[in-house]
């Protein structure tokens, strides 16, 4: 088995036993990226990567550290000093180089990891397919005609294709969990505030979280150990103790109460997806969990609430891209206002423009009360649904997405259809609770290929230990 296809845990054991070197891991990755990424398109500009510099970093890596010698691929909306950070947008592509490290990158480096490679995404993380990237298309490694999911499509595809050991993604409404589900890898969205957002290019600041995509649940726990913690550079990061997330991984689910929310199994879920999820639930029961039907009654408002709050915050966050300080400046403009207008018209793609227009409208004078304020009130009800539910159960299990990965272009003329498919993931962001997607099975498509289906496990705020514990059991099915 090539080194690039192994988990962090496996590689770490071999590194510390002296059976392999960190340089050999880089060699293996370089080879697999060169062999496979041309067809998958997970990495942005891999031909420009300095593998020799990565080998130098590998040579001096401190193997006694938790991620010593492990290369980690990074979503292209997270700043790594000296590297381009395009957010898959024409606005920044070719013109923006990060002047600093995001806190998650500082933490990875301090833990001995080597950030290596920039991963494709939907432009500014807006989307569910990665087809909104202005840079390139990313294919699902299980069937190139299908999308990898999004917005962290590159982050999921490279881990699934063994062209990365593990990666970082960001999740505002499902963007770690959904591509993880579509590509058959593990994807963890931490609780809001668990991980610093400093250096993540902001999409919707009250929803965004950074998290890992990995080949195993144990690797996700290991990565979370490193990424977590309060940060003076992000006032929304929480000052709470960081447990060792690997400590209770094998505690099992015996005696645990697991909630099944009726609303997440409503019409619209593909029966084949349902079958995979039902089977996983039966297995959890067989492993000793008590399965309890629960209700999250405000679920039907989650999509509408999210698609007010996220675009509103995006319209504000993206106002910094005005052609003056960052990225693209139009050469066609002859005064200041024209510079703003033309730089933005040329630099942003259509989905980003749609969100800015929707968000600006929702915040505009006279309408803010009607839309934004109301959405915030509904958000509180959605949070209350979860608070009530977690008085009765330890964790909640559901599909991640109503279908397996769609084909490229399948929903491109119908944004509403694409937004509705976020139904199972976005409430967790609105409530700030943690969620994980773990591979649960596959379904065959008409081309005879097997497309992965993930199981979502949600926990109470700061309840990452519980969801990792449940995920670890599911992984063994």
Q: Binding pattern to ligand GLN, positions 91-120, x when CB under 6 A?
A: ------------------------------
Which CB atom, from 230 or from 236, has the smaller least distance to ligand GLN? 236
Q: Is 195 in the site for ligand GLN (CB under 6 A)?
A: no
Helix (H) or strand (E) holding 305: helix 302-317
Choice from 151, 209, 305, 339 touching ligand GLN (CB under 6 A): 151
Give me the residue label for tokens 């879920």.
Answer: 269
Q: Give Cβ neighbours of residue 74 (< 8 Å, ≥ 6 apart).
A: 80, 105, 115, 116, 117, 118, 119, 167, 168
The answer to whether 289 and 256 are in contact (CB under 8 A) is: yes
Which CB atom, from 127 or from 259, has the smaller least distance to ligand GLN? 127
Q: Give Cβ neighbours of residue 145 (< 8 Å, ≥ 6 apart).
A: 139, 407, 408, 447
Q: Is 133 in the site for ligand GLN (CB under 6 A)?
A: no
Q: Is 323 in the site for ligand GLN (CB under 6 A)?
A: no
Residue among 152, 175, 181, 315 flagged as catalytic: 175
Which CB atom, from 107 or from 182, has the smaller least distance to ligand GLN? 182
175 is catalytic: yes
Give the largest CA-CA distance in the chain: 70
Q: Is 171 in the site for ligand GLN (CB under 6 A)?
A: yes
Task: Tell me the three-class secondary structure of 24-85, residue by residue.
Answer: HHHHHHHHHHHHHHHHHCCECCHHHCCHHHHHHHHHCCCCCCCCCCCEEEEECCECCCCCEC
Residue 206 has which token pair? 């009250």
Give the span between the Cα atoms of 373 and 356, in whole angstroms.
Answer: 18
Q: Is 212 in the site for ligand GLN (CB under 6 A)?
A: no
Residue among 75, 107, 189, 472 flagged as catalytic: 75
The answer to whether 29 and 158 are in contact (CB under 8 A) is: no
392 is catalytic: no
Q: Is 313 in the site for ligand GLN (CB under 6 A)?
A: no
The count of chain residues that interact with ligand GLN, using the rule CB under 6 A, is: 13
Q: Binding pattern to ligand GLN, positions 292-311, x when CB under 6 A?
A: ------------------x-
Q: Binding pattern to ligand GLN, positions 5-44, x when CB under 6 A?
A: ----------------------------------------
75 is catalytic: yes
Residue among 28, 151, 196, 315 flagged as catalytic: 151
Which CB atom, from 51 or from 264, has the smaller least distance to ligand GLN? 264
Choice from 83, 263, 422, 465 touching ligand GLN (CB under 6 A): 422
Q: Least distance to ligand GLN from the beta carbon of 129, Å?
A: 9
How much helix, strand and coil, in percent to the nearest 5, is found in the chain?
A: 40, 15, 45
Choice from 26, 125, 404, 467 touching ligand GLN (CB under 6 A): 125
Q: Is 127 in the site for ligand GLN (CB under 6 A)?
A: yes
Cis peptide before 151 (omega within 30 of 0): yes
Give the span between the Cα atoms of 273 and 403, in whole angstroms.
Answer: 6
Give the span between the Cα atoms of 320 and 394, in whole angstroms.
Answer: 41
Q: What are phi and psi of 456, to 5 degrees?
A: -100, 135
Q: Which positions are annotated as active-site residues? A: 75, 151, 175
Residues that bind ligand GLN (CB under 6 A): 125-128, 151, 171-175, 203, 310, 422
């Amino acid at each position: 088995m090539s080194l690039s296809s192994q988990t962090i845990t496996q590689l770490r054991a071999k590194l510390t036993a002296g059976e392999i070197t960190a340089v050999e891991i880089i060699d293996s990755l370089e080879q697999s990226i060169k062999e496979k990424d041309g067809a998958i398109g997970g990495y942005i500009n891999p031909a420009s990567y300095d593998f020799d510099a990565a080998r130098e970093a590998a040579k001096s890596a401190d193997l006694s550290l938790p991620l010593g010698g492990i290369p980690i691929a990074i979503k292209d909306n997270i700043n790594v000093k000296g590297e381009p950070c395009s957010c898959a947008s024409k606005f920044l592509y070719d013109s923006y180089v990060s002047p600093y490290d995001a806190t998650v990158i500082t933490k990875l480096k301090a833990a001995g990891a080597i950030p290596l490679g920039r991963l494709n995404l939907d432009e500014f993380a807006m989307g569910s397919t990665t087809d909104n990237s202005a840079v390139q298309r990313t294919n699902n490694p299980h069937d190139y005609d299908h999308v990898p999911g999004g917005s962290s499509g590159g982050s999921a595809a490279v881990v699934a294709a063994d062209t990365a050991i593990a990666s970082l993604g960001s999740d505002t409404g499902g963007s770690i969990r959904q591509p993880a589900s579509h590509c058959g890898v593990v994807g963890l969205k931490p609780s809001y505030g668990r991980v610093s957002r400093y250096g993540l290019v902001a999409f919707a600041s009250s929803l965004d979280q950074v998290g890992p995509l990995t080949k195993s649940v144990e690797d996700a726990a290991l990565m979370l150990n490193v990424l977590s913690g309060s940060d003076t550079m992000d006032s929304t990061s929480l000052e709470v103790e960081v447990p060792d997330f690997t400590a209770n991984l094998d505690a099992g689910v015996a005696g645990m109460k697991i909630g099944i929310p009726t609303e997440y199994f409503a019409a619209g879920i593909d029966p084949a997806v349902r079958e995979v999820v039902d089977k996983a639930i039966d297995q959890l029961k067989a492993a000793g969990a008590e399965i309890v039907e629960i209700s999250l009654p405000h679920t039907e408002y989650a999509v509408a609430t999210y698609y007010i709050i996220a675009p509103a915050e995006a319209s504000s966050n993206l106002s910094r891209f005005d052609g003056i300080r960052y990225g693209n400046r139009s050469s066609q403009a002859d005064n200041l206002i024209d510079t703003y207008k033309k730089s933005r018209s040329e630099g942003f793609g259509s989905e980003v423009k749609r969100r800015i227009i929707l968000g600006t409208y929702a915040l505009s004078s006279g309408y803010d009360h009607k839309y934004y304020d109301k959405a915030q009130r509904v958000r509180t009800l959605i949070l209350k649904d979860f608070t009530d539910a977690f008085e009765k159960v330890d964790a909640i299990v559901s599909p991640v997405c109503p279908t397996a990965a769609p084909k490229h272009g399948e929903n491109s003329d119908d944004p509403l259809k694409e937004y509705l498919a976020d139904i199972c993931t976005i409430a967790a962001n609105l409530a700030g609770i943690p969620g994980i997607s773990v591979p649960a099975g596959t379904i065959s498509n008409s081309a005879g290929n097997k497309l992965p289906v993930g199981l979502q496990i949600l926990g109470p705020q700061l309840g990452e230990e519980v969801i990792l514990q449940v995920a670890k059991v599911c992984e063994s099915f």
